[in-house]
Structure 1
Amino acid sequence: MTASPEQLIDWIKSRRTIGNLQLPAPTHEQIRMAIECAATAPDHKKLRPWRFIVTEGEARQQLGQALLEAAEAQAAREGDKLSDKTRHKTANLPMRAPVIITVVTKMQEHKKVPPFEQMLSAGAAVQNLLLALMAQGFSTVWRTGLLCNEPAVKAYFDVGDDDYVTAFVYTGTSPKNNPRRKPMDIEPLLRFER
């Protein structure tokens, strides 16, 4: 079945962030298909300035430890200490979904492609990833937060000093139907020039 342009547009407009995710999760083949779609993002000079790291199973606990280490370092810099409750919550952040696809930048020196273009390409890759997972019947939430580019997290993902963790794409199945999006007034966001 081929979707009409109107059906496709309505489908894209139906995309929602869903935070409560459970099994079933996408298979490795489904993840590969979604990443193939992500890799079609606009990419000036074909630098491919992004990488994808899939975290599932027990590896989520290791990621939780990296997030906890980052939170403790952040608190220490501010002369603070985490409560036991905050420590537990932080270490369990990756357990909110069965699979997390982390998107990181791989910036490259290029005289015609400044870093901001490469960062925007990474964002476009994330959007394609979200839509490709949705097309396969999965729900997602794009998370980052204050810890994602702390040294402990960047080290965990082997991300260089000049690169960024741009997204934690949590994915799985929503236990309930996605809520319908309210109509949006785009007029304040739009200007036509002639």
Structure 2
Amino acid sequence: MIALEGGFADVPVEASRAFRAVLEAMARPGRIEAVTGAQAPGLSVAASVVALTLIDGTTPVFLAEDVDSPALRQWLAFHTGAPVVARGAAMFALGGWAALGPLGAFAQGTPEYPDRSATLIVEVERLENASARLTGPGIEREAWLNLPEVEAFAANRAQFPLGVDFIFCAGDRLAGLPRSTRVEG
């Protein structure tokens, strides 16, 4: 059965390494990390690893139409126990950039609790340090990351401390983009 496959083989070791990679990517926007250890149906290795690392039975997840499938739902249920919910109720969302829009439909946090916002795990074709200029916390001078667009991230940053956070995944690579990062084209 596919739901039983594709998880971490050595959970403590692989989960620790994966968590460190996600932490490094989010703490240093534009930094690209390589990960291994998981493969969910219809997701990249990186998105699978992020899902196993950050999602559990207390974190509702939204599956965009481009990745949603019975096999992925079964995999998530077995490996994480996470409930699949509508986008407005999700703490995490999985899918491609176009299928995840509009960003405003996801939880943005509140002034009292800005941490009650969604994190979008975005599948992209490739990750490279090019195109969009990043500045802000965690970046010494500037960093670069190819992003699907610039305007949506600038608008997201304008809401800070509210807004959503992003983890981009391509193959076995991931990069983080917190809402505190300034993005210029």
What TM-score, normalized to structure 1?
0.25
Looking at secondary structure, tell me which structure has more helix per residue.
Answer: 1
Looking at secondary structure, tell me which structure has more strand per residue.
Answer: 2
What TM-score, normalized to structure 2?
0.25
